[in-house]
């Protein structure tokens, strides 16, 4: 599920935008939810979770001195590089300001009371279309946070993810090593889409990195390492491999 964060210092506008978002999400059954509707940049930033990427609806003209919507967008980009930014503004010609802050805004919504709900509906539809395209054509890098550092790992280098022994941590295995980071395997599975398969509650495997499968023993060889296949996942995995034109016998080679 994708979280939506909203920030507008006008309480009435904030309420109307949230209501419009939740109405559209309910009608279309989007896999989204409004996680936070904040009246200030500090409130929004304080509520941000590790989960990403998120969707952000930000008021441009925040009356907070240091903060405006563009400075807030820059801080969000630092924490959530793949986040989708939508700006709410009382003016039409503010797109050029995004270049000053090196931001990519998905869209602008002008605060016209008679069109606010329809504009939000339109933008949310466009975002949903982008998300669907991304699921079918995943990004070429997977971004994760290790401490205060963002790491960008080429997807083609990833072998599999494994639940770590530390609570709420995941091990990412690549061709050259492994990375321990805070994460959730279910969220990673949803983010990366169909190129990866949940073979076991604790393993998420890159399908195109499977070298051998032994369903009798419930094992795969992935990048020279063994990964388990839960009994409940064997049939689905075998069908997936057959659909890709690959053998599912003991010595199946990619």
Q: d(Cα 138, Cα 141) in Å, to the nearest integer?
A: 8
Q: d(Cα 196, Cα 9) in Å, to the nearest integer?
A: 41
- The pLDDT-based confidence of 79 (bands split at 50, 70, 90) is confident
Q: What is the 3-state secondary structure (H, E, C) of 47-104?
A: HCCCCCCCEEEEECCCCECCECHHHHHHHHHHHCCCCEEEEEECCCCCCCHHHHCCCC
pTM of structure: 0.55
Q: pLDDT tens digits, residue range 194-235? A: 889 999 999 999 999 999 999 999 999 998 899 999 999 999
Whole-Å CA distances, 133 to 17, 139, 158, 165, 193: 26, 10, 21, 34, 11
The pLDDT of residue 74 is 87
Closest CA to 28 of 105, 99, 126, 109: 126
The pLDDT of residue 80 is 86
The pLDDT of residue 139 is 55
Residue 193 structure tokens: 């889409």
Q: d(Cα 121, Cα 109) in Å, to the nearest integer?
A: 11
Q: d(Cα 151, Cα 162) in Å, to the nearest integer?
A: 18
């Amino acid at each position: 599920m994708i979280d939506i964060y909203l920030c507008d210092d006008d309480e009435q506008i904030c309420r109307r935008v949230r209501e419009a978002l939740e109405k559209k999400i309910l009608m279309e059954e989007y896999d989204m939810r409004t996680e936070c509707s904040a009246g200030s940049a500090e409130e929004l930033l304080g509520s941000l979770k590790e989960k990403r990427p998120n969707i952000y609806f930000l008021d441009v003209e925040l009356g907070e001195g240091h903060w405006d919507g563009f400075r807030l967008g820059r801080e969000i980009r630092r924490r959530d590089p793949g986040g989708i930014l939508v700006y709410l503004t009382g003016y039409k010609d503010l797109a050029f300001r995004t270049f000053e802050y090196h931001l990519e805004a998905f869209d602008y919504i002008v605060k016209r009371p008679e069109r606010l709900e329809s504009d939000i509906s339109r933008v949310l539809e466009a975002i949903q279309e982008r998300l669907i395209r991304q699921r079918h054509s995943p990004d070429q890098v997977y971004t994760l946070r290790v401490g205060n550092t963002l790491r960008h790992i080429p997807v083609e280098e990833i072998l599999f993810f494994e639940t770590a022994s530390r609570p709420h941590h995941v091990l990412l295995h690549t061709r050259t090593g492994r990375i321990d980071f805070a994460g959730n395997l279910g969220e990673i599975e949803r983010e990366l889409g169909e190129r990866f398969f949940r073979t076991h509650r604790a393993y998420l495997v890159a399908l195109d990195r499977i070298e051998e499968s032994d369903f009798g023993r419930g094992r795969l060889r992935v990048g020279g390492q063994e990964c388990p296949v839960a009994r409940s996942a064997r049939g689905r995995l075998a069908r997936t491999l057959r659909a890709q034109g690959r053998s599912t016998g003991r010595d199946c080679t990619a």
